[in-house]
Amino acid sequence: MRTSIWTLTALALLAAACAKRSDASLAADSTGAAASAAADTSKGMSGMAMDTDKTVQGNGVPAGYIALTDHADAKITDAKYAVNGGKWEVETGPAHIVYSPKDTASGIYAVSATIDQLVKPRHPEAYGLFFGGQNLDDRTKQTYGYFLVRGTGEFLIKVRNGDKTSPVVEWKASPNVPKEDASGKATYTLKVHFAKDTAHFLVNDKLVDAIPRSKLSTEGVAGLRINHNLQVAVTPVVIDR
């Protein structure tokens, strides 16, 4: 399986960058610790527990795509999707994943998408990619990994197994994750590249972390995760093999 998007030289540089970052990991962790509870709570990824989901009059997700809300009593019609050229303008509504069954990959590949935060949320809210999705039609059996960012300049890597989520990297500040500007806007092109043994996580083509594949769910469907009460513009995921 070809990996034209990554050269051997680039991967070597990535590995070197990760090694240099390892000694600074604890210090970076402490930067985001105070905000860790602000999103991705024990209720899944529904954001701050005291916030209720906005009700947005929508018609579901674009044709050919499937959405699964974090909670069985939430309706995807309470999120609004508007197709605008090659992007979807999304207003939520409940936290959910959205995907197409055709976006399935294994082995060596990369998944990417671009997300624009259009309006500053009331509280820090997250959005990003999921990958390695299995049993997505059953909340009790679903599994996947996910890579999220938020406008505070932080990222998160987690895995989901049914209703349980487990951190791989807790919310962490990174100079390679831009913060929202004064108007509340920010743009993130997210990519996860799966090499033979390692997953590389990039924001705007800059490495933010590298994790052993063994810690993640990597084989299966890829798509988007969007938290509640957000206004974002997103591109559907692209898989490069």
State how many domains the chain has: 1
- Give the rounded percent of residues in the chain with a pLDDT score beyond 70: 79
Q: Could you tell me whether strands 206-212 and 198-203 are parallel, antiparallel, or unpaired per DSSP bridges?
A: antiparallel
> Residue 144: inside a domain, yes or no?
yes
> Residue 73: inside a domain, yes or no?
yes
Evaluate if residue 40 carries a pLDDT over 80.
no
CATH code of the domain covering residue 20: 2.60.120.560
> Residue 2: inside a domain, yes or no?
no
> Residue 142: inside a domain, yes or no?
yes
pLDDT in the model for residue 57: 86
pLDDT in the model for residue 59: 87
pLDDT in the model for residue 97: 98
> Residue 3: inside a domain, yes or no?
no
Q: How confident is the model at residue 173 (pLDDT cuts 50, 70, 90)?
A: very high
pLDDT, average across residues 54-69: 92
Cβ distance 4 to 108 under 8 Å?
no
Phi and psi (nearest 5°) for 92? -120, 150
pLDDT in the model for residue 50: 58
> Residue 1: inside a domain, yes or no?
no
Query: Which H or E run contains 8?
Result: helix 8-21
Spatial neighbors of 198 by CB under 8 A, at least 6 apart, are 15, 210, 211, 212, 213
Burial class (CB in 10 A: 0-12, 13-18, 19+), 178: middle
Q: How confident is the model at residue 43 (pLDDT cuts 50, 70, 90)?
A: very low
Q: Which residue has the higher pLDDT, 139 or 117?
A: 117
- Extract the tokens encoding 19: 């090694």
> Residue 158: inside a domain, yes or no?
yes
Question: Left if phi > 0, otherwise alpha if psi is -120 to 50, otherwise beta: which for 117?
Answer: beta
pLDDT, average across residues 171-185: 98
Cβ distance 32 to 55 under 8 Å?
no
Q: Which residue has the higher pLDDT, 23 or 204?
A: 204
pTM of the model: 0.81
Report the mean per-residue pLDDT for the chain. 85
Q: How confident is the model at residue 55 (pLDDT cuts 50, 70, 90)?
A: confident
> Residue 74: inside a domain, yes or no?
yes
Domain range for 210 is 8-240
**Which segment of 24-28, 64-68, 106-110, 142-146 scores lowest on mean pLDDT?**
24-28
